[in-house]
């Protein structure tokens, strides 16, 4: 019977395993939709009650799933302390805690991480592995760019504070307020709630953008380049690396 | 006479075929311009009447084109149920339906897809094929990124809802409303109709943007990389793949 | 004496040639700064008069330059009808026309194109040539993407018009007005003067952005990829292609 | 004793050296946080006094650090006039000057550059060297793109000034004011403080964005491509280049 359980829970290449994964995925989506609707203001009492009932049912099913995964796992503690083991537990604990009256909004969002569990259905573990490998390959450059971006953000905030604090004291109150401008500008989001009005501030913004766009946009190019390198590596070295640790995840 | 028809309708390397394609392209553009002008408010009665007449003429010509393509096709049903066959039909049916009073705005836009038909004039089928091949090559990574982007959007919406719902209840009413903020922010569109004002919400936005820009921007880099791989493949394997199915499209 | 003139005007590797190029560059920058200042509102009469005098002096110097280039050119007509020959002429004609009272703002901006002339100083002809080659290499893909972007823009405009025309008739008056929204959104500029407010319009915007960002952002990646291919080609085939036509430009 | 000092100050692979670097990094972060908090409006007197005391302590410690680095350096003058030598000095001088009453906000931000000093802890000198090499490799293309971007910005400003000056004289007062629009638009920041309202201006914006996005976004792609080229070069030529000048920095 245990072999059958393992087949259902851990494998994605049998019919039972795929059905199990799809049911879990459907439950996750249901749970997220219910969570989203619950936050809508002015819901009728009946809807709220129905959503709470649905939540209870889904949580019980997730508890059953957790038990099944635990039973199927060869090394119990390894599953409990694995990434997905923790996610699975965190996804059900808030409900039982909330029976005592605690707001569960913040913690329930963690359930979303369970989506990764179902990736096995689509056999994405290869792509996910490649992505991890790409991040490892480009780690140094990405960290350097993140550091450079951080320094650039801080310097931009100090600079714009220097130029704009007199013209717009309500928006550029301090360096911390100016940092918000720097974030919105260098990511090119540009909400428009805060922007320079002095000539000095505008010229400074221009200089910062010319220097900064390359730094802020570069990591995405680096990740794409590292991904193609990881893909080539994989093709060349497919025979050598058996990667047994991927099966657990 | 049928051989002559095939030459006109299906081939782009003869003078008659190219003229036919250009006439169809011109009709498509005319039709789109007419559609755009028709929606302008406060048009004089005479202009509306003229546009409707133009629409009638163009639709009749498209009907003739559909008949010609059907006559030229070797396997009639295969053309009728092909992508372009359906587009060609959908482009003319709305007009005849609208003679009975139905609004045809939404359906007439479908005519735009016919533009792809005319791509043969510019011999773009190669580039289009390469693009399809690139999408196939990078399918797994793109799907993984889309999934990651979806999860990121949802988590961002839940997070900003948590931080801003008290400060701006009118903008961040629910998770569904917050999703609109997440979309506008992570794509860096940043309309400015909705943005965080609390310190917590701003720090959260910063963190989300640092993590998210790479994820949202990566697919475009992946497509570009896959395109160049597809181009190389093509160069190496030009002799092996005859691709007869491309002629039909 | 003609050999000396050729040395001054057409070569960038002699001291006289470099000085000549730098003087022309300085004149161009002066002219642009003068043009920019002239448009400032509320200038004192004396400043305007001084700027007009400066403009007259610069134009006379540019006329002298045009005469020198014409005299130095081996084939006069080829220079006159070359890209830079036309730019040089267009840069001086407006001034003489304006002596008759015509507004010269729009035409004077053309003078800016003369900047490319000075690129020879930095020996950028290699990089410029590589860029042209890259555009040739990626021409098909870029045109395909531009076409796809155009179709996407039109479809987005029709779609948002359908969703928002009732909620915001003043902003989404017609498909042509909606096109402005589509441009501002798909380029991620997002001014915030016009944005969807209905749930349908927002979901549609999300779908359009997911599909559209890859299409709109891809050409820049394609150009970068083509540039590196052009660079490799150049390295491999440096001996074979003498490219004599580059010297004229 | 001098050998011990060198070990502490200049090396990152001994325990003493790593501790020293981490202490300096912590001091830098402290100093920046103090600087940021100091600019907050409405701080109580006691907090300001405490922050000023903290600043004094940190500056004294930085002075000690400067002395240690000077003592440890083999060639004193080379350190004093090196990039980090100047940064180290600039980071402490403002405080002593401010004892005479001068505002030190602007100059204190320079301390941030010291962050690069600590990069040695993470052994980033490789990545940093690679980045410098990448900039050298792509120098010509990047300069060409920057020049093209500058010309495009100016032409855009002149164009939008031509289209919008009559409809919005308060926003598009002069070419210099229009340049601010061009910067905000072509970087896709789009604050929304200034945007075209005329049909001509909007069509012009569309054309500018279609031409301009590739030019503005290309440098980031070029840097990413050059980085991967630099990485390959490094791998191939690791044995040949000893690079002794990197140890000093």
Using one digit for the tens of pLDDT, what is the confidence trace for C88-147? 887 777 777 767 655 555 555 555 555 555 555 454 456 667 777 888 877 777 777 777
CA distance to partner chain B, nearest, from residue A143 (Å): 12
Kindly identify which residue of chain D lies nearest to residue C191, measuring between CA atoms: D192
pLDDT value for A112: 58
C161 touching B (Cβ < 8 Å)? yes
Give the pLDDT mean for D150-166: 85
Q: What six digits make up the tokens of C18?
A: 């470099």
Q: Is the pLDDT assigned to residue B229 strictly greater than 70?
A: yes
Give the DSSP letter string of A93-141: HHHHHHTTT---HHHHGGGGGGGGGGGGGGTTHHHHHHHHHHHHHTHHH
Alpha helices in B99-198 (DSSP H): 105-108, 115-118, 125-137, 139-164, 175-186
Cβ–Cβ below 8 Å for C193 and D195: yes
Tell me the chain B residues in contact with residue A174 when contact means C-beta distances shorter than 8 Å: none
- Between CA D211 and CA C149 the distance in angstroms is 13
How many CB atoms sit inside 10 A of residue C3's CB? 7
- Between CA B6 and CA B248 the distance in angstroms is 12
Kindly identify which residue of chain C lies nearest to residue A185, measuring between CA atoms: C189
Q: What six digits make up the tokens of A202?
A: 């505008």
Query: What number of residues does chain A have?
Result: 249
Flag the least confident range among A213-227, B78-92, B102-116.
Answer: B102-116
How many CB atoms sit inside 10 A of residue A14's CB? 12
Cβ–Cβ below 8 Å for C36 and D176: yes
Kindly identify which residue of chain D lies nearest to residue C142, measuring between CA atoms: D214
Inter-chain CB pairs, B–C, below 8 Å = 109
Q: What is the DSSP letter of A220?
A: H
pLDDT value for B181: 93
Q: What six digits make up the tokens of A226?
A: 């590292």
Give the pLDDT mean for C148-175: 86
CA distance to partner chain D, nearest, from residue A185 (Å): 6
- Between CA C81 and CA B64 the distance in angstroms is 47
Query: If DSSP codes are grouped into helix, strand and coil, which group holds residue A170?
Result: coil
Tell me the chain B residues in contact with residue D190 when contact means C-beta distances shorter than 8 Å: 189-190
Nearest to A157 by CA among A222, A208, A210: A208
Give the pLDDT mean for C228-239: 71
- Between CA B160 and CA B158 the distance in angstroms is 6
Cα dihedral B207→A178→A214→C116 (10° resolution):
160
Q: What is the DSSP letter of B42?
A: T
pLDDT value for D197: 92
A66 touching B (Cβ < 8 Å)? no
- Between CA C39 and CA C58 the distance in angstroms is 18
Give the pLDDT mean for B69-96: 82
Q: Is the pLDDT assigned to residue C183 strictly greater than 50?
A: yes
Nearest to A152 by CA among A199, A214, A101, A107: A214
Tell me the chain A residues in contact with residue C188 when contact means C-beta distances shorter than 8 Å: 188
C214 touching A (Cβ < 8 Å)? no
Give the pLDDT mean for D37-55: 85
Class of domain D2-124: mainly alpha
CA distance to partner chain B, nearest, from residue D185 (Å): 12
CA distance to partner chain A, nearest, from residue B145 (Å): 10
Kindly identify which residue of chain D lies nearest to residue C149, measuring between CA atoms: D210
Flag the least confident range among B35-39, B118-122, D36-40.
Answer: B118-122
Tell me the chain A residues in contact with residue D42 when contact means C-beta distances shorter than 8 Å: none
D244 touching B (Cβ < 8 Å)? no
Q: Which of A9-13, A107-111, D83-87, D108-112 has the highest mean pLDDT?
A: D83-87
Q: Is the pLDDT assigned to residue B248 strictly greater than 70?
A: no
Residue A108 banded pLDDT, cuts 50, 70, 90: low
Q: What is the 3-state secondary structure of B55-94?
A: HHHHHHHHHHHHHHHHHHCCCHHHHHCCHHHHHHHHHHHH
Percentage of the residues of chain D whose pLDDT score is greater than 90: 11
CA distance to partner chain A, nearest, from residue B130 (Å): 18
Tell me the chain D residues in contact with residue A222 when contact means C-beta distances shorter than 8 Å: 224, 227
Q: Which residue has the higher pLDDT, B237 or D238?
A: B237
Tell me the chain B residues in contact with residue A127 when contact means C-beta distances shorter than 8 Å: 140-141, 143-144
B146 touching C (Cβ < 8 Å)? yes
CA distance to partner chain A, nearest, from residue B68 (Å): 44
- Between CA B40 and CA C25 the distance in angstroms is 48
Choose which CATH entry (3.90.1150.10, 1.10.287.70, 1.10.150.20, 3.40.50.720) describes domain C136-248.
Answer: 1.10.287.70
In this complex, the residue of D188, D192, D224 whose CB is nearest that of residue A225 is D224
Give the pLDDT mean for D190-202: 91
**CA quadruple C122, C127, C129, C135: dihedral sign:** negative
Q: Is the pLDDT assigned to residue C160 strictly greater than 60?
A: yes
Flag the least confident range among C164-168, D119-123, D125-129, D160-164.
Answer: D119-123
Complex ipTM tops 0.90: no
Q: Is the pLDDT assigned to residue C24 strictly greater than 60?
A: yes
Q: What is the DSSP letter of C225?
A: H
Using one digit for the tens of pLDDT, what is the confidence trace for B148-205? 788 888 888 888 988 898 899 888 988 888 999 999 999 888 888 899 999 999 999 9
Q: What is the 3-state secondary structure of A28-65?
A: HHHHHHHHHHHCCCCCCHHHHHHHHHHHHHHHHHHHHH
Using one digit for the tens of pLDDT, what is the confidence trace for C56-96? 898 899 899 889 988 888 888 998 888 778 878 877 777 77
C interface mutation test: which of D149, D191, D195, D220 has the most C CBs within 10 A? D195
Backbone Cα Rg of chain A: 25
Cβ–Cβ below 8 Å for B147 and A119: yes
Residue C3 banded pLDDT, cuts 50, 70, 90: confident
Nearest to B141 by CA among C224, A229, D218, A216: A229
Backbone Cα Rg of chain C: 25
Tell me the chain D residues in contact with residue C209 when contact means C-beta distances shorter than 8 Å: none
Cβ–Cβ below 8 Å for D140 and C131: no
The answer to whether residues C84 and C117 touch, using CB atoms and an 8 Å cutoff, is yes
C220 touching D (Cβ < 8 Å)? yes
Kindly identify which residue of chain B lies nearest to residue D224, measuring between CA atoms: B221
Cβ–Cβ below 8 Å for B195 and A190: no
Q: Which chains touch B (3 or more CB pairs under 8 A)?
A: A, C, D
pLDDT value for B130: 74
Distance of CA C199 to the CA centre of its chain: 40
Q: Which residue has the higher pLDDT, C205 or D155?
A: C205
Phi and psi angles of residue B79, each rounded to the nearest 5 degrees, phi first:
-65, -45
Mean pLDDT of chain A: 78
pLDDT value for A204: 92
A206 touching D (Cβ < 8 Å)? yes
Percentage of the residues of chain C whose pLDDT score is greater than 90: 11
pLDDT value for D117: 55
Number of H helices, E strands in chain C: 11, 0
Give the pLDDT mean for B3-21: 79
pLDDT value for D175: 84
Nearest to A221 by CA among C218, D235, B149, D116: C218
In this complex, the residue of C112, C217, C223 whose CB is nearest that of residue D154 is C112
Same fold, B2-124 and B136-248: no
B144 touching A (Cβ < 8 Å)? yes
Residues 6+ apart with CB under 8 A from C111: C28, C31, C32, C62, C87, C90, C91
Kindly identify which residue of chain C lies nearest to residue B143, measuring between CA atoms: C210
B149 touching A (Cβ < 8 Å)? no
Give the pLDDT mean for A5-16: 78
Give the pLDDT mean for D116-142: 67
In this complex, the residue of B41, B176, B190 whose CB is nearest that of residue C173 is B41
D136 touching C (Cβ < 8 Å)? no
Q: Is the pLDDT assigned to residue D244 strictly greater than 50?
A: no
First to last CA, chain C: 23
- Between CA A27 and CA A41 the distance in angstroms is 24
Q: What is the DSSP letter of D234?
A: H
CA distance to partner chain C, nearest, from residue B3 (Å): 31
- Between CA A226 and CA A134 the distance in angstroms is 5
D183 touching A (Cβ < 8 Å)? yes
- Between CA B182 and CA B154 the distance in angstroms is 8
Cβ–Cβ below 8 Å for C191 and A192: yes
Flag the least confident range among A231-245, C203-217, D173-187.
Answer: A231-245
The answer to whether residues D130 and D230 touch, using CB atoms and an 8 Å cutoff, is yes
The answer to whether residues C185 and C208 touch, using CB atoms and an 8 Å cutoff, is yes
Q: What six digits make up the tokens of B60?
A: 């009749």
A127 burial (CB, 10 Å; 0-12 / 13-18 / 19+) is buried
Cβ–Cβ below 8 Å for C106 and D162: yes
C190 touching A (Cβ < 8 Å)? yes
pLDDT value for B203: 92
Cα dihedral D225→D227→D233→D235 (10° resolution):
-120
Nearest to D138 by CA among B60, A221, A183, A7: A221
Q: Is the pLDDT assigned to residue A121 strictly greater than 70?
A: no
Inter-chain CB pairs, C–D, below 8 Å = 108
Domain boundaries, chain C: 2-124, 136-248
- Between CA C153 and CA C145 the distance in angstroms is 12
Give the pLDDT mean for C21-40: 81
Residue D204 banded pLDDT, cuts 50, 70, 90: very high
Residue C244 banded pLDDT, cuts 50, 70, 90: very low
- Between CA C188 and CA C149 the distance in angstroms is 13
The answer to whether residues D173 and C40 touch, using CB atoms and an 8 Å cutoff, is yes
C192 touching A (Cβ < 8 Å)? yes
pTM over 0.90: no
């Amino acid at each position: 019977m245990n072999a059958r359980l393992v087949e259902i829970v851990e494998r994605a290449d049998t019919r039972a395993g795929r059905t199990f994964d799809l049911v879990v995925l459907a439950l996750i989506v249901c749970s997220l939709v219910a969570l989203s609707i619950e936050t809508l203001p002015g819901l009728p009492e009946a809807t709220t009650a129905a959503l709470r009932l649905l939540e209870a049912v889904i949580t019980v099913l997730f508890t059953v799933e957790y038990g099944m995964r635990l039973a199927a796992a060869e090394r119990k503690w390894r599953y409990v302390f694995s990434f997905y083991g923790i996610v699975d537990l965190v996804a059900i604990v808030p409900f039982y805690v909330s029976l005592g009256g605690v707001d569960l909004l913040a913690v329930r969002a963690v359930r979303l991480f369970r989506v990764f569990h179902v990736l096995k259905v689509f056999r994405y573990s290869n792509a996910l592995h490649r992505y991890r490998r790409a991040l490892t390959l480009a780690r140094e450059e990405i960290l350097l760019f993140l550091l450079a971006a951080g320094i650039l953000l801080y310097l931009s905030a100090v600079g714009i504070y220097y130029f704009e604090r007199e013209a717009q004291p309500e928006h550029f109150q301090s360096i911390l307020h100016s940092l918000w401008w720097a974030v919105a500008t260098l990511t090119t989001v540009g909400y428009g709630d805060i922007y320079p009005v002095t000539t000095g501030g505008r010229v400074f913004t221009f200089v910062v953008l010319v220097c900064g766009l390359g730094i802020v946009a570069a990591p995405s190019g680096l990740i794409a380049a590292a991904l193609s390198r990881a893909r080539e590596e994989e093709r060349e070295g497919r025979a050598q690396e058996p990667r047994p640790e991927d099966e657990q995840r």
